[in-house]
Amino acid sequence: MSTLMLDINIRLLLLCAHPVNALVSLTSILEDPSYAKALLGQGLDIGLGIRHSTGYYHHSLLFDIKELTRSKLEYWVAGLFLRGGNHSVTFSSY
C-alpha cells in the first residue's frame, strides 16, 4: 500500500471518529423514532421516499424528512462544542 493511500485512509478514519461527527450521527439516530411515529400517525408510509430509494426495510421517507432538518441538527451540535465546558445535554433543547 502506498504512503499516500495510507495517509488518506488515516485521514478518513480520523474524520469519522471526530466527536462532532459522532454526536451528529448519534443525535440523528435518536430522532428516528419520533419522526417515524409522527409520519405513521399521519398515515404516511415511511418506506416510500421521494429522494431516497425505496427498498426492503429502508425508511426512505424518514430519510427524506431528516434531510430537511439536518442543518438544524448540525447547528445544535456545533453549538454544544462551541460553548465548551462539561455540561449535561438534554435533547429537549434541540
Q: What is the mean pLDDT of the chain?
A: 75
| pLDDT tens digits, 17-27 | 677 787 888 88
Pick the closest to residue 64 from 92, 39, 94 (CA basis): 39
Q: What are the tens digits of pLDDT across the range 44-90?
A: 888 888 776 766 667 888 888 888 888 888 888 888 888 775 556 55
pLDDT value, residue 85: 53
For residues 47 and 59, is the Cβ–Cβ distance under 8 A? yes
- pLDDT of 78: 84
Do the beta carbons of residue 36 and residue 47 sit within 8 Å?
A: no
Q: What pLDDT, on the 0 to 100 scale, is given for residue 80?
A: 82
